[in-house]
Structure 1
């Protein structure tokens, strides 16, 4: 690591933790840390408690704001972030659905787009000039027949909100319907432009784009696979091309896939397994993935992963292992080496500002 490595604007890290008995949780809310460029020095600055299940965090560097949805709840909350790491609440607003699990800001910064997992909808929430939120102005149901899993696919369950590279579309993997919905952003409305259909029972969960923009990698929770898909930006269509398992061939236990990360150079893809408690790594070869091995995640139930701001370290939130594990990425092979671990109670999301 060099002194000129990329840094987050304020050098802050936020860790959201599950808090409720329903989630078998031990967390207390959102923890705030001051971090060094190499993530070698984490200083705990404070915590926002009294907030149920801050299950996903998004930062807005332009406004100096932080947004969270509340797992199993029906609201999103906005904070303004001071340079010393203090979070000042800008209030909460209704998402128009239940169990809001993921969100993203639209390219203009005028709206927060929210996936309502339990109620099967995607909401458009206006963002005020001060960064605060208004209640959902549009709630768009995800249509289709549920998948075959009797408990996990009883209805639509949108699980992720990802902007296309050009910002014209929103991709929403739906675990309940085994589909990825592609939504068109038009002014202050969302509309369904197309959809990609995956294997019955796959349980589409999260998606990440290759930096080249022509490929996207979809992790399927229920059948523990990653599908490589072709993205056609002009038409707004996603076409599945190739599928690989996330589990080692000699693993026979219960496990579900969770998170997916692509390296900035586009050479490697990582997916986490909850149950097997490992990180699958893949090499990108043309329009498919080649399995390259598995690394222990450093704890139980690796729910979430993200790259550090330097782009060469991977952080893993082990929800039931109560830890944040840090790995360095070998630039030649993509192999992971665990370089650190710090205690965190029921961590489920990490964001930087």
Structure 2
């Protein structure tokens, strides 16, 4: 097993790195080895995989977009790129079944859908640009829409999170055109960033970066009705310094939700109760600064958090019964890490 970690390339980093992950001889616990560069590219802050193909955000100077790479004879070779003048996207999602990619551009407000083939060839299918419909009051919002997430829903529609407009938008993809279906409005200043759906597809949990909160919402994806269930803080009530909530993930069994906090520098674990309300289970340090992302292996027994500002990552074990994390390796060197994948 190995880790793939990428991020910003503003200081020391130069692309995407591979880190071996194996049991150590001393205590039979998993241990992460040294990082080595496997793809040289600018700003791979988010990337996804489909077998031997890897699709990543590419910040190519005055251009930005996505690029594809294919693993051939142990090396990643660049296959294709789709770049346009301006900033690179903030997010890339994947539909492996239909060979589709979804990108959200925080700076330009653009949502885009691409197709790809077995050789990694990219084709733009559809796009649209968010407008300033419901801008929030915070400084990060007043300059315009900021879509931060774009991916598929349980019913195979598409969904975006817009930090500037404080909203979740739903779309269909019909005849290579994006059609707006519905909108859920978060509270002003929420800073809608990312979301996850419950296993039954009837609820979503959306994280507000600027408010450091999670909003639980009941969803009827056929009639497009929404019910605001509850909202919870991801940080302690007595914490007064700056914080930005970032990544959100739900365990496969739907019992636990995890959120990273940049500023408080922690991962907050919530128990999902039978009525889909949440109960705080744990807050644990990421042992570094600015954890933009974290991820787990297929069995969800191991979790790695990347600390962007301190160039390090932390490895945890996860207890499936109570959801709690236990750190087993700290200070794993990785420069400017913001995205982590387990490659098994």
TM-score normalised by L of structure 2: 0.89
Q: 1:189 to 1:339 in 2, by over 3 A?
A: same
Query: Match for residue 243 of structure 2?
Result: 255
Give, in angstroms, the shift of residue 129 of structure 1: 4.2
Give, in angstroms, the shift of residue 75 of structure 1: 1.4
Query: Match for residue 112 of structure 2?
Result: 123
Q: 1:290 to 1:233 in 2, by over 3 A?
A: same
1:98 aligns with 2:84: no
Query: Match for residue 334 of structure 2?
Result: 344
Indicate which of 52, 66, 78 corresponds to 1:89: 78
Deviates more, 1:88-97 or 1:148-157: 88-97
Indicate which of 21, 30, 38 corresponds to 1:47: 38
Query: Match for residue 8 of structure 2?
Result: 18
Indicate which of 154, 160, 177 corresponds to 2:149: 160
Deviates more, 1:51-60 or 1:321-330: 321-330
Q: Report if aligned partners of 1:95, 1:116 keep a CA contact under 8 Å in 2.
A: no
Once residues 251 and 225 of structure 1 are traced to their aligned partners in structure 2, the CA distance between those partners, rounded to angstroms, is 13
Query: Match for residue 220 of structure 1?
Result: 208
Q: What CA deviation, in whole Å up to 9, does each residue of 1:160-203 have, x standing for no partner?
A: 1231124x211111000000111112242222111110000100
Q: 1:288 to 1:121 in 2, by over 3 A?
A: same
Q: What CA deviation, in whole Å up to 9, does each residue of 1:10-63 have, x standing for no partner?
A: x4432112112xxxx4311111234348853546454222x21111011012xx
Query: In angstroms, what is the RMSD of aligned CA positions?
Result: 2.2
Q: Report if aligned partners of 1:219, 1:227 keep a CA contact under 8 Å in 2.
A: yes
1:31 aligns with 2:17: yes
Once residues 13 and 238 of structure 1 are traced to their aligned partners in structure 2, the CA distance between those partners, rounded to angstroms, is 38
Query: Match for residue 145 of structure 1?
Result: 134
Once residues 266 and 145 of structure 1 are traced to their aligned partners in structure 2, the CA distance between those partners, rounded to angstroms, is 31
In the alignment, structure 1 segments of 5+ residues that lack a partner are: 1-10
Q: Report if aligned partners of 1:182, 1:236 keep a CA contact under 8 Å in 2.
A: no
In the alignment, structure 2 segments of 5+ residues that lack a partner are: 24-28
Aligned residues: 333
Give, in angstroms, the shift of residue 221 of structure 1: 0.3
Q: 1:236 to 1:188 in 2, by over 3 A?
A: farther
Q: Report if aligned partners of 2:157, 2:170 keep a CA contact under 8 Å in 1.
A: yes
Query: Match for residue 159 of structure 2?
Result: 171
Query: Match for residue 305 of structure 1?
Result: 294
Query: Match for residue 111 of structure 1?
Result: 100
Once residues 72 and 56 of structure 2 are traced to their aligned partners in structure 1, the CA distance between those partners, rounded to angstroms, is 17
Once residues 334 and 233 of structure 1 are traced to their aligned partners in structure 2, the CA distance between those partners, rounded to angstroms, is 29
Q: Report if aligned partners of 2:80, 2:120 keep a CA contact under 8 Å in 1.
A: no
- Matches of residues 190-205 of structure 1 in structure 2 within 5 Å? 190-205=178-193
TM-score normalised by L of structure 1: 0.87
Query: Match for residue 332 of structure 1?
Result: 321
Give, in angstroms, the shift of residue 282 of structure 1: 0.9
Once residues 290 and 142 of structure 1 are traced to their aligned partners in structure 2, the CA distance between those partners, rounded to angstroms, is 34
Q: Report if aligned partners of 1:169, 1:236 keep a CA contact under 8 Å in 2.
A: no
Deviates more, 1:310-319 or 1:39-48: 39-48
Give, in angstroms, the shift of residue 97 of structure 1: 6.6
